[in-house]
Structure 1
Amino acid sequence: MTAELEELRDLITHARVVLWDFDGPICRLFAGHTADGVARGLVEWLESRGLHGLVTEDERESLDPHVVLRAVDGRHPGSDLVAELEERLTQEELRAASSAMPTAYADPLIRTWTAIGSRLAIATNNSPRVVRRYLSSRGLISCFTPHIYGRTEDLHRLKPDPHCLNRALNAMGAAPSAALMIGDTPSDYEAAQSAGVPFLGYARNERKEKLLRDAGAAVVVNSLAVVRAVVLDQA
Structure 2
Amino acid sequence: MTSETTQTEPVTEETENDTEKLRELITRARVVLWDFDGPICRLFAGHSAERVAAELAGWLEGRGLHGLLTKSELKTLDPHVVLRAVDRRHPRSDLVAELEERLTQEELRATATALPTAYADPLIRTWTAVGSRLAITTNNSPRVVRTYLASRDLTECFAPHIYGRTQDLHRLKPDPFCLNRALNAMGASPSAALMIGDTPSDFEAAQNADVAFLGYARNEDKEKRLRDAGATAIVSSLELVLRLLKDQA
Shift of 1:232: 0.4
Partner of 1:231: 245
Larger Rg: 1 or 2?
2
Q: 1:160 aligns with which of 148, 157, 174?
A: 174
Partners of 1:88 and 1:146 in 2: CA distance: 25
1:99 aligns to 2:113 (yes or no): yes
The within-5 A match list for 1:27-46 is 27-46=41-60
Partners of 2:92 and 2:39 in 1: CA distance: 30
Partners of 2:78 and 2:54 in 1: CA distance: 9
Structure 2 length-normalised TM: 0.94
Runs of 4 or more off by more than 3 Å in structure 1? none
Partners of 1:189 and 1:7 in 2: CA distance: 17
Shift of 1:60: 1.6
Aligned partner letter, 1:65: P
Aligned partner letter, 2:58: E
The within-5 A match list for 1:87-166 is 87-166=101-180
Partner of 2:8: none
Partners of 2:76 and 2:230 in 1: CA distance: 22
The within-5 A match list for 1:1-235 is 2-235=16-249
Partners of 1:5 and 1:189 in 2: CA distance: 20
Partners of 2:91 and 2:128 in 1: CA distance: 39
Which whole-Å deviations, capped at 9, do the CAs of 1:1-22 have from their partners, x for residues lacking one?
5221111011111100000000
Give the share of equivalent positions with the same residue, in percent.
Answer: 76
Which whole-Å deviations, capped at 9, do the CAs of 1:65-97 have from their partners, x for residues lacking one?
000000000000010000000000000000000
Partners of 2:215 and 2:74 in 1: CA distance: 27
Task: Give 3-state SS (helix, strand or coil) of 1:2's partner.
Answer: helix
Task: Give 3-state SS (helix, strand or coil) of 1:199's partner.
Answer: strand
- Root-mean-square deviation (CA, aligned residues, Å) is 0.6
Q: Which deviates more, 52-61 or 12-21?
A: 52-61
Structure 1 unmatched runs, 5+: none
Task: Give 3-state SS (helix, strand or coil) of 1:98's partner.
Answer: helix
Partners of 1:63 and 1:207 in 2: CA distance: 15
Partners of 1:6 and 1:67 in 2: CA distance: 37
Structure 2 unmatched runs, 5+: 1-14
Task: Give 3-state SS (helix, strand or coil) of 1:82's partner.
Answer: helix
Partners of 1:50 and 1:214 in 2: CA distance: 38
Partners of 1:115 and 1:9 in 2: CA distance: 18
Which whole-Å deviations, capped at 9, do the CAs of 1:142-193 have from their partners, x for residues lacking one?
0000000000000000000000000000000000010000000000000000
Structure 1 length-normalised TM: 0.99
